[in-house]
Structure 1
Amino acid sequence: MPKSKEIVSNPIRHGNEKEAKKFFENMLKKSFQEIHRVLKPNGIATIVYTHKSTSGWETLINSLLESGLVPTASWPIDTEMKSRLLAKGNAALASSIYFVCRKMERKEIGWLNDVKEEIKNYIAKKLNQLWEEGISGADYFISAIGSAIEIFGKYKSVVDYEGNEIIAEDLLEFVREIVTDDTVRKILHNGIAGELTPLTRLYILFRWTFGEAKVEYDDVRKLAQSTGVSLEKEWNKGFIKKEKEFIKILGPQDRKFEELKDAQEMIDILHKVLLLWKVGKKDEIKNVLKDTGLGLSEAFYKVAQAISETLPNESQEKKLLDGFLSGKERLKDEIKSDKIKSDISNKQRGLGL
């Protein structure tokens, strides 16, 4: 087969990034349209797709929907060796998503509010199933997106009550928000998700989804957006570092103590505490936790535990977290004891004793 007919996005071959993307989208759509043409009514086609970039999935979804094929089921199936994924050093899927599509009549119109409710109810069940099956990280998100396609793929168009047609990208943003909220709650064992700031939620979610890998900017931007964080305002500040077209989330071992001196954000305070633990400054740890009010906060320790659970055993960040957490009960007892003594002292001063 001539290389010119390959369905690839190659800026060198097509002149620039924009033309390469356009070629890829057009050819993918033509391929699906041809599958649709040759299928008998209600015939089945299985499409296997693996792409770690969110934009790649948007292209697939748009091409599928425009072809007339209706996705009726999707499953993640492991196709990559774990050792190979670890060796890459950047984000990768361990699974391919298998879509079962049919040549069938689609409903003319889905009303946005109804479709959203349908997606929300369906994804909630699907996410529980994926979680129980041990699907995690980027595979979990992509599998959830696949599930959503089963719902809005039933309609020729989805419109709001003003008659505006809703594009796949907008529906996917809604899906990401559902998955983000559900995932953070599951990672924290349905504990304190509502108490967390957007930046702390983003940190937890990134670690669970991508680990310590460098990730393409657009994927992190969309993940951040689903937690309420504007990536453009935050990169190269705090724990978010931009490296060319990639984003890296810094762990405590990658940060300088000076930049954490006046930390207010929970995740920054945790990093500050871990750096102090690393050099054995126990009294300073107690002072930081007392001053910030986090010393007796269950949310603080649950966040630390949740992050630890997302990381592999060889991770330096995990070792710092586990070391700190191993002494948390004694630390909390000491902070509690100091607080009681302080309260008694203040009460005595107030009584003039």
Structure 2
Amino acid sequence: MANTSLGRWHNGRETIEHPFSRQAIAMVFDYPESNPFCSSSGSATNQLEWILRYIESESNSSFETILKNASSGEKKQFGEKKLTAVITDPPYYDAIAYADISDFFYVWLKRTLNDTYSLNFSTPQTPKSEECTALKHHHNNSEQEAKLYFEKKLTDIFDAIEQQTSDIVSIMFAHQTTEAWTTLCNSILSARMNITGSWPMDTEMANRSLGLASAALESSVTVSCRPSERLGYGSFKQVKRAIEEKVNTEVEKLYGLGFRGADLLTACFGQAVSEFGKYEKVEKADGSEVTVAELLELAKTAAFNALLRGFEGDEYTKFYIGWLQMNGMGETDFDDAAKFTRIGMNIDVSDIFHHHLLIKDGNKQHLASYTERITGEVQGTNISDPLIDQVQQAMMLWSKENRPKLLRLIKLVGSEANNSFWRVLASLKELLPDGDDLKQVNELLANSEELIQSCQKDITGQATQMNLGF
């Protein structure tokens, strides 16, 4: 892959990199060239050496296994309940165009191996009609058609796995959208299996770049399933109570282990479905059937409530901290805000946007940074202002090195170490991703003792006012 005009140049090491910085070919204009017959980076010898070193390293293992080529969804390739366990990593819904990317390799392999494997390279490009993804450009540019195809294809594959497996099925999935998880869970349940547990695991390097954009999880969520026998009909009230109890326990455990945001949330989805999947159907009091999509929204609500339990603060600060825990600073669908404000909060969606807690971007939205908020009407200089406003005003003053005004603000709202002002900063330190916001929070907390001591001095020569008078 180094011998291509689409390669990238690594400035630090001064070496040629392969084109795939993520699961797509980036539009860069480096055009590095390598001599394939030399012995330095990018040469044929160098690349072959890496492959040989791996083969030699793995050949030293005494572990033996029998390998068989398996075709997805083919029921006859293994006997009924012949397999004890199956481990699978299905495509991540619409996140990666696997077949499209593989054309990069296919066209060159076709040139070199077509005579030997003519059947494998009989088509001009890789076949794409059978790919198990939800890519709309393969389905008449229709998202709904792509979604239905993906769910049916996945169901067929899981149906074959269920028939062939006697014990456990492990499924890895790293997509955070509710829609993608709804499709996955529908396929599992339709294939007569039930989820028995789900766990987030840190399996990736911190600097990975898979090209999944905002859809990617920082952790890999593994779902365990078993062939199941259903108990008939269940009541929504009963299942709802069981889900809430299970999600509360799961949130407390995962939060203590350091999982945050979408990683924590999606790990709860499996726990919720495990209760739902015990029954053939779950019905509401009016006889209507509960869908998996409704179930996952219930799991999200339960997780949100569990995260906010015990947090003391005004509604705006409660929303900001809760949203950061659930969604981080990334983009989310527009209607998510309305759903969250209905979860035991005394503010509505118009209040959220009017107070600049969320920033609209087309049909998406993201949580506002301190630089996006501390403008116009949002100041945080009054003692009655929301805590999040006061905290982010302090972040702005610190970034601008405006020490006099910062000390007046701290004297007003954070003159003691146990003030809510400092507790909010501590919460932000745990939740914020790397960036300018986290930098300001870390520096304020690192200098908190000195700032508290300094603010006690009479820096203005006047009595403290209820408003800083900025």
TM-score (normalizing by structure 1): 0.77
Q: Determine if contact 2:380/2:391 at 8 Å carries over to the other structure.
A: no
1:92 to 209, 212, 216: 216
Paired position in structure 2 for 1:207? 324
Paired position in structure 1 for 2:283? 159
Paired position in structure 1 for 2:152? 26
Moved more, 282-291 or 169-178: 282-291
The secondary structure found in structure 1 opposite 2:217 is coil
Paired position in structure 2 for 1:238? 356
1:174 to 288, 298, 317: 298
Deviation per CA, 1:216-268: give whole Å up to 9, x if none. Answer: 55666656665746557645861422334543322213445334247733322
Q: Determine if contact 1:257/1:275 at 8 Å carries over to the other structure.
A: no
How far, CA to CA, are the matches of 2:144 and 2:354 in structure 1?
A: 27
Deviation per CA, 1:152-176: give whole Å up to 9, x if none. Answer: 1111112233433222222222222
Length, aligned pairs only: 330
Give yes or no for the alignment of 1:323 onto 2:422: no
Alignment of 1:336-351 (within 5 A): none
How far, CA to CA, are the matches of 1:245 and 1:79 in structure 2?
A: 32
How far, CA to CA, are the matches of 2:363 and 2:225 in structure 1?
A: 34
How far, CA to CA, are the matches of 2:452 and 2:164 in structure 1?
A: 66
Shift of residue 179 of structure 1?
Answer: 1.3
Considering fraction of residues, name the structure with more helix: 1
Paired position in structure 2 for 1:131? 255
Q: Determine if contact 1:257/1:272 at 8 Å carries over to the other structure.
A: no
Paired position in structure 2 for 1:349? none
Shift of residue 303 of structure 1?
Answer: 0.8
Larger Rg: 2
How far, CA to CA, are the matches of 1:30 and 1:76 in structure 2?
A: 26
Paired position in structure 1 for 2:135? 10
How far, CA to CA, are the matches of 2:335 and 2:457 in structure 1?
A: 48
**Consecutive unaligned residues in structure 1, runs of 5 or more:** 344-353
How far, CA to CA, are the matches of 2:431 and 2:293 in structure 1?
A: 28
Shift of residue 143 of structure 1?
Answer: 0.7
Deviation per CA, 1:248-302: give whole Å up to 9, x if none. Answer: 32221344533424773332232222212333434434555677x6766722221
Paired position in structure 1 for 2:78? none
How far, CA to CA, are the matches of 1:75 and 1:274 in structure 2?
A: 35
Shift of residue 181 of structure 1?
Answer: 2.6
How far, CA to CA, are the matches of 1:282 and 1:32 in structure 2?
A: 61
Give yes or no for the alignment of 1:301 onto 2:419: no
Paired position in structure 1 for 2:267? 143
How far, CA to CA, are the matches of 1:20 and 1:8 in structure 2?
A: 8
Q: Determine if contact 2:304/2:326 at 8 Å carries over to the other structure.
A: no
The secondary structure found in structure 2 opposite 1:195 is coil
Q: Determine if contact 2:380/2:393 at 8 Å carries over to the other structure.
A: no
Alpha carbon RMSD of aligned pairs, Å?
3.5
User: For the structure 1 residues 223 and 50, does the alpha-carbon distance in structure 2 shift closer, same or farther, using more than 3 Å as the test?
Assistant: farther
How far, CA to CA, are the matches of 1:262 and 1:342 in structure 2?
A: 20
The secondary structure found in structure 2 opposite 1:83 is coil
The secondary structure found in structure 1 opposite 2:175 is coil
Q: Determine if contact 1:78/1:95 at 8 Å carries over to the other structure.
A: yes
TM-score (normalizing by structure 2): 0.60
How far, CA to CA, are the matches of 2:185 and 2:437 in structure 1?
A: 37
User: For the structure 1 residues 262 and 256, does the alpha-carbon distance in structure 2 shift closer, same or farther, using more than 3 Å as the test?
Assistant: closer
Q: Aligned residues: percent identity?
A: 27
The secondary structure found in structure 2 opposite 1:8 is coil
User: For the structure 1 residues 3 and 220, does the alpha-carbon distance in structure 2 shift closer, same or farther, using more than 3 Å as the test?
Assistant: farther
**Greater relative CO, 1 or 2 (CA 8 Å, sep 6+):** 1
Q: Determine if contact 1:91/1:214 at 8 Å carries over to the other structure.
A: no
Deviation per CA, 1:107-134: give whole Å up to 9, x if none. Answer: 1122222222222332333333323443
Deviation per CA, 1:192-235: give whole Å up to 9, x if none. Answer: x14341x3233223434554444455666656665746557645
User: For the structure 1 residues 149 and 215, does the alpha-carbon distance in structure 2 shift closer, same or farther, using more than 3 Å as the test?
Assistant: same
Paired position in structure 2 for 1:251? 369
User: For the structure 1 residues 319 and 53, does the alpha-carbon distance in structure 2 shift closer, same or farther, using more than 3 Å as the test?
Assistant: same
Q: Determine if contact 2:174/2:216 at 8 Å carries over to the other structure.
A: no
The secondary structure found in structure 2 opposite 1:155 is coil
Shift of residue 5 of structure 1?
Answer: 1.5
